[in-house]
Structure 1
Amino acid sequence: MNALPLELHSQIFEFACTDDGKTARSLALVSRYVHDVSVPYRYQSLSISGLKQMKKLVTRLNVTPHHLRRIRHLFLSDWTHDRTKERVVATSDEARDTYELESTIALRIITLAAPTVETLAVVVASPFSGPSLLGSLFSTPMPQLTDLAVHGFYPFPHAPRSMPRLEHLHLSGNRSPHGLLHFGMLKAACPALIHLRLSGLFASASFAEELRSAILSAHDDTAAQSDPFRASLPQQLRTIVVEAREMHVPGARKHGIPRGLRLMHEKMLVSLRELERRADPLLARRFCHREQK
Structure 2
Amino acid sequence: MNALPLELHAQIFEFACTDDGTTARSLSLVSRYVRDVSEPYRYQSLSISGLEQMNELVTRLNVTPHHLRRIRHLFLSDWAHAQVKERVVPCSDDDLDRYELEKTAALRIITLAAPTVETLVVVSSCPYTGPSLLGALFSTPMPRLAELSVHGFYPFPQVPRSMPRLERLHLSGHRNPHGLLQLGALDAACPSLVHLRISGLVAASSFAEELRSAVLSQADDPSLQSSAFRPSLPARLQTVAVEARAPPSRKGGAPRGLRLMHDKMLASLWELEGRSDSSCSPAVSVLEMEDERDMYSLLKSGWSDRLATREALC
Structures share fold, TM-score greater than 0.5: yes
Q: Which residue of 2 aligns with 1:35?
A: 35
Unaligned segments of structure 2, at least 5 residues: 291-314
Q: Which residue of 1 aligns with 2:254?
A: 257
- Give the Cα separation in 2 of the matches to 1:228 and 1:241: 26
Q: Which residue of 2 aligns with 1:156?
A: 156
SS at match of 2:278: helix
SS at match of 1:218: coil
Tell me how far 1:247 sits from its aligned partner: 3.2
- Give the Cα separation in 2 of the matches to 1:74 and 1:46: 5
Given that 2:181 and 2:211 are in contact with CA atoms closer than 8 Å, whether structure 1 keeps it comes out as: yes
**Among 278, 289, 295, the residue aligned to 1:292:** 289
Alignment map for 1:167-246 (pairs within 5 Å): 167-246=167-246
- Give the Cα separation in 2 of the matches to 1:226 and 1:16: 55
- State the TM-score, normalizing by the size of structure 1: 0.97
Give the RMSD, CA atoms, in angstroms. 1.0
Unaligned segments of structure 1, at least 5 residues: none
For residue 78 of structure 1, what is the amino acid of its counterpart?
Answer: D
Q: Which residue of 2 aligns with 1:61?
A: 61
Deviations 1:48-86 (A, max 9, x none): 000000000001001111100000000000111111111
Q: Which residue of 2 aligns with 1:281?
A: 278
Q: Which residue of 2 aligns with 1:21?
A: 21
For residue 96 of structure 1, what is the amino acid of its counterpart?
Answer: L
Tell me how far 1:143 sits from its aligned partner: 0.2
For residue 78 of structure 2, what is the amino acid of its counterpart?
Answer: D
SS at match of 1:101: helix
SS at match of 2:120: strand
For residue 111 of structure 2, what is the amino acid of its counterpart?
Answer: T
Tell me how far 1:274 sits from its aligned partner: 1.1
Q: Which residue of 1 aligns with 2:305?
A: none
- Give the Cα separation in 1 of the matches to 2:81 and 2:163: 28
SS at match of 1:219: coil
- Give the Cα separation in 1 of the matches to 2:164 and 2:285: 25
Count of paired positions: 290
Tell me how far 1:130 sits from its aligned partner: 1.4
For residue 280 of structure 1, what is the amino acid of its counterpart?
Answer: D
Given that 2:215 and 2:281 are in contact with CA atoms closer than 8 Å, whether structure 1 keeps it comes out as: no
Given that 2:195 and 2:239 are in contact with CA atoms closer than 8 Å, whether structure 1 keeps it comes out as: yes
- Give the Cα separation in 2 of the matches to 1:124 and 1:106: 9
For residue 198 of structure 1, what is the amino acid of its counterpart?
Answer: I
Given that 1:27 and 1:34 are in contact with CA atoms closer than 8 Å, whether structure 2 keeps it comes out as: yes
Deviations 1:199-218 (A, max 9, x none): 00000100000000000033
SS at match of 2:284: strand
- Give the Cα separation in 2 of the matches to 1:213 and 1:284: 12
Structure 1 runs (4+) greater than 4 angstroms displaced: none
Tell me how far 1:285 sits from its aligned partner: 2.0
SS at match of 1:242: strand
Given that 1:43 and 1:70 are in contact with CA atoms closer than 8 Å, whether structure 2 keeps it comes out as: yes
Deviations 1:22-41 (A, max 9, x none): 10011111111111100000
Q: Which residue of 1 aligns with 2:5?
A: 5
Q: Which residue of 2 aligns with 1:102?
A: 102
Tell me how far 1:10 sits from its aligned partner: 0.3
SS at match of 1:289: strand
